[in-house]
Amino acid sequence: MASSRILVIGGTGRLGLHLVTASLDAGHPTAVLVRRPATAGARADSPVKAKLIEELCDNGARLVYGDVNDHDILVAAIKNADVVICAVGHTTPHKLVENQLKIMEAIRDAGNVKRFVPSECGASGADAGASKKHPGSQASSPRSSESFRDSSHHRMRLSGSWLPAAQGRKP
């Protein structure tokens, strides 16, 4: 079976770290889009984050410095991937959709991606609006779903409960 070139956007976060590890363990050449410490906030300058990035590199991941807000760098990173996995953290469901639309635009412009795995954090349009913390978020999930449906890329949805099960724990 041929290896796919994987790009994980958000690969140093809670979910992304596991996705990068699984990709490397499966033998896929894996790149991780990371923000430069000066633009990522204080957390990126922490020794813990630096050690995490060092471990990813030691295990075979390739770092690509960039950000979902820099379209040209995002397109360049995506051009070197067959599969793009989004594990980008967010503060609101709206911000998650906004970031994923930027990624989808870059995927379209790159023109080579065979599969896009969006991060929906298990929220469907019906339950995204149920959040009391983020009222009115229901409209954002269908917007991204429509964009995914209208694209020519293969896609899959990861539910937030898959990770504990993959690690042998109950969700």
Q: How confident is the model at residue 88 (pLDDT cuts 50, 70, 90)?
A: confident
Whole-Å CA distances, 5 to 21, 118, 122: 14, 16, 25
What is the span of the domain harbouring residue 78?
A: 6-166
pLDDT in tens, 26-50: 999 999 999 877 555 545 567 888 8
Taken in order 23, 151, 130, 95, the sign of the CA dihedral is positive
For residue 1, is it within any domain? no
Determine contact, residues 122/161, Cβ cutoff 8 Å: yes
Mean pLDDT of 111-124: 77
Chain CA centroid to CA 148, Å: 15
For residue 102, is it within any domain? yes
For residue 24, is it within any domain? yes
51: its two tokens: 């050690």
Could you tell me which of 29, 32, 113 has the C-alpha nearest to residue 79?
113
Which of 132-136's residues contact partners 24+ apart within 8 Å by CB, and which partners? Answer: 134/92, 134/93, 134/94
106: its two tokens: 């870059």
User: At 9, is the secondary structure helix, strand, or coil?
Assistant: strand
For residue 116, is it within any domain? yes
For residue 154, is it within any domain? yes
Using DSSP bridges, classify how beta strands 115-117 and 6-9 pair: parallel, antiparallel or unpaired.
unpaired
Mean pLDDT of 55-67: 94
| Predicted TM-score of the model (pTM) | 0.72
Number of structural domains, the chain? 1
Mean pLDDT of 116-131: 55
For residue 87, is it within any domain? yes
For residue 82, is it within any domain? yes
Give the whole-angstrom CA distance, residue 155 versus residue 139. Answer: 20
CATH number for 140:
3.40.50.720
Q: What secondary structure letter does DSSP report for 44?
A: G
For residue 45, is it within any domain? yes
Mean pLDDT value across the chain? 75
